[in-house]
Each structure stands twice: as structure tokens, then as C-alpha cells.
Amino acid sequence: MPQPDLTLTPAGPALAPRYRDRAPRALPAGPYLRLFSRPGTRAFTAGNLIARLPMGMFGVSAVIMISAAYGSYALAGAVTATGLAVGSVTGPLIARLVDRYGQARIAVPATAYTVLGTVILVLCVHAKAPVWALFLTTALTATTPNTGGMSRARWAHLLRDDPDALHTANAFEQAADELCYMLGPVLAAILCSALFPEAGTLTAGALFLGGVLLFATQRSTEPPVAPRTTAGSPLRTPGMAPLLAVFLATGAVFGSMEVVTLAYVDGPVAGPILALQAAGSFAAGLLYGRARRTARLRTCLAAMTVLMAMPLLAASTGSLPALAAGLLVAGMATAPTMVTGMGLVQRLTPPAQLNEGMSLAVTALLAGIAAGSATGGWAADHAPFASFGFLIPTTAAATALTLCTTARVGRRAGRGREERARA
């Protein structure tokens, strides 16, 4: 009979562990697998994805719903732009409250109020209420919390000592945004055409509220409440204002492309064709997250300017398959641009104001999307030829590149990072 292994302890001989030299648990091979091997990350990401899917549905659903009831793409674009414009003001205020009181305490009531306003808007459109009621309802209930920013804040807290993993997390978050904007328009178009025009908006509201509730219950990964600070708004941080101007012009690319494409295609297939732009960005974002080095923001914007001309060239041929291919290619510059831009925001913003800083970036994007939506809606109704509207996103991308180059956006962020590293 074999004798058990014994080891000496202060209390005398004791059984030794059966496996003395057990090897440490190996980490998953891929960067994304390593990312989600951390406790709690899968749970909060699942809730946040459900909450973010409606972000790709609300705009398309509202355009389809309002244009079907009132017969005007210009009105639909203007109402959508109003909500985005007001949200660009309320967004940073809500984010400041999130930094001060926590994500769960602020995001849930803000979301519930937004969903209530969405239901009222649907009732107004269904009853063909006066136009002013649509604008008033949209403006008074624009309290949507920045769900993507809250998710990025959790990653920034969890990975504060691992910049490579944080880059991968930021790339994943951008790819998740694009996935939602890829699936959202398709789902919205299907619901609105197969059921009734208001179905897309109602479904988006239900998903938004449910996703935020699930996200808010994941308290183990929620960043701690930041202590009150006497520092001013992150907007005053040197280098932030020029970066936000770039985000503003970039948002105009997205807003105008959405409305122009919907008006150009004008049918149930519009959602799937529009989703191809997000599909290209989704694929590019995942690949960019595996890269060890990030490109400069101006390089990404230069690529976006060139690629945004593809839908314009395709639309001039009158071929929907060509337009679909052009949108797929055009989207490939979106995710690298946004990942690089959000990385600059994180470097410029003090940790105690991270939600507010990222909300300012989203605010600039929303303001740009609002301007692009309104401009795209006007072009859809008054353009001299069908493909004219696709000039707007190309021009907006060129404007973003010009602003980035002339203001030397990103250099101050790089110097700040080096100073913090030396400290």
C-alpha cells in the first residue's frame, strides 16, 4: 500500500498537497477572449448591448413613422434633429450626475423618462397631432443616458493599469456600436413595414428600458462614485474643444448618410442597405482592436474622406447593388476613426470626470448628426438630382479632416499622456 506524502508543519507532520507544482491557469489566447475572462464583464456587456441596439432603431423608426403619417422627409429629419440637438445639451448634464451619484441611480430614471416621451410621440404621430406637438414632445423628453459611454467608463476603470487591453476594449465597444447600428435599421425597417409604422419605435423603447435595467443591476463592475471636484468642465481642458469640433463634423457624416440613403432607396430594403455601412465598420473595428498600434486621427479621417466618396459614385449609377457595396466600403473607416477619437478623449479627461468627458464627445457627435439629418432631409426633398444628397457626408468628412489637421488635434493628448507616465 503506498504511503502518503508528508510534510512538516509547526504542528507536526501533515498531508502534503497532492499537486505541489500546479502550473498557473493559462490566459485565453485571443485579446477579446482575455478581455471577457475578467469577472463580471460579460454580464454588463450583455445588458449594455441590449440597451444600445435601440440607438440604431430610433432614428430610422422615427423617419419612417413620421414620413408615413405626414408625407415629408424634411419634417421627419427636423424632428429627429431636434431630439438630437436637445440631447446634446442634456447629455453632459446627465453624465455629470452619473459621475457624482453613480450609473445605476441616474441612468434608470433618465431612461424611464425618455421611454415615456417616446410613447407620447408615437401617440401624437398616430393621431396626426399638430407638428409643434412632435417637436415639443421630442425636446422635453431628450434625457437619454450615454449607455456606450457608461460601458467605456467601466472598461477604463477595470483596465486602468493595462493600456493594451483598454485599446482592445475601446475597439470592441466601437464594434458593438456598429453592430447595433447594423442590426437596428434592419430590425426597424422590418417592424415598420411588416407590422405598422409605429412598431419600430415602440420596440426600441422596450428594448432600451430593459437593457438599461439589466446593465444597472451589474454593480460589481460599476466604477466608484468620483469625489466632488472643484475642477471645471472637461470642455476647458486644453485640446478638448478642437477635438469636439472634429466630432461635430464627423457626426454630420453619419446623420446625413442615414437620411439620404433612406430617401434614395425609399422602401423596406433601405434598412438592410444602410446597415452595410455599419457592417463594414464592425469588421474594421474588430480588426483594429487586434492591432498593437493605433493610427493617427488625421490618418483615419483622410481614409474616411476618400471612402465616403464611394456611395456618391455608386448612387450616380442608379444601381442599388453598387450603392450597397459603396456603403460597405465607406463604413470601413468609421470604427478606426471613432476608436482613435475616443482614445484621445480618455487621455484628455481627468478620471473623476470620465463620463462627462465622453458624453461631451457624444454630444458633439449628436449635434453633428442632428445637423446632418436636417441637411440630408432638405436635400432629399429639394435636391436637383437623386444622388446629390451623397455630397453632404463627403463634404462633412473633408471638413473634419481639415479641422483635425489645422488644429493639430491629438498632439496635446499625447503630451499629457507622456507627462502622466513620467509622474
d(CA 178, CA 79): 24
pLDDT in the model for residue 209: 92
In a domain, 35, yes or no: no
pLDDT in tens, 363-389: 788 788 878 877 887 877 776 666 777
Domain count, the chain: 1
In a domain, 162, yes or no: yes
pLDDT in tens, 235-254: 677 778 888 888 899 888 88
CATH number at residue 397: 1.20.1250.20
pLDDT in the model for residue 8: 47
- Asked if pLDDT for residue 68 goes beyond 80, the answer is yes
416: pLDDT confidence band, cut at 50, 70 and 90? very low
d(CA 263, CA 261): 5
In a domain, 13, yes or no: no
Nearest residue to 303 via CA among 284, 321, 317:
284
In a domain, 20, yes or no: no
pLDDT in tens, 85-116: 788 788 778 887 887 888 888 888 999 998 99
DSSP character at residue 294: P
- Asked if pLDDT for residue 230 goes beyond 60, the answer is no
- Asked if pLDDT for residue 419 goes beyond 60, the answer is no
Q: What's the sign of the alpha-carbon dihedral 163, 168, 169, 175?
A: positive
Per the model's pLDDT, the better-predicted residue between 310 and 9 turns out to be 310
Over residues 325-329, the mean pLDDT reads: 88
In a domain, 256, yes or no: yes
pLDDT in the model for residue 16: 46
- Asked if pLDDT for residue 409 goes beyond 70, the answer is no
pLDDT in the model for residue 207: 92
pTM strictly above 0.75: no
Q: Is 24 helix (H, G, I), strand (E, B) or coil?
A: coil
Over residues 293-303, the mean pLDDT reads: 80
Which domain, by its residues, includes 215? 42-422
d(CA 16, CA 6): 5
In a domain, 9, yes or no: no
In a domain, 226, yes or no: yes
Element (H, E) at 281: helix 270-290
Cβ neighbours of residue 42 closer than 8 Å, sequence gap 6 or more: 36
In a domain, 195, yes or no: yes
d(CA 247, CA 331): 16
pLDDT in the model for residue 292: 61
357: pLDDT confidence band, cut at 50, 70 and 90? confident
- Count Cβ atoms within 10 A of the Cβ of residue 313 and give its class: 0-12 exposed, 13-18 middle, 19 or more buried: middle
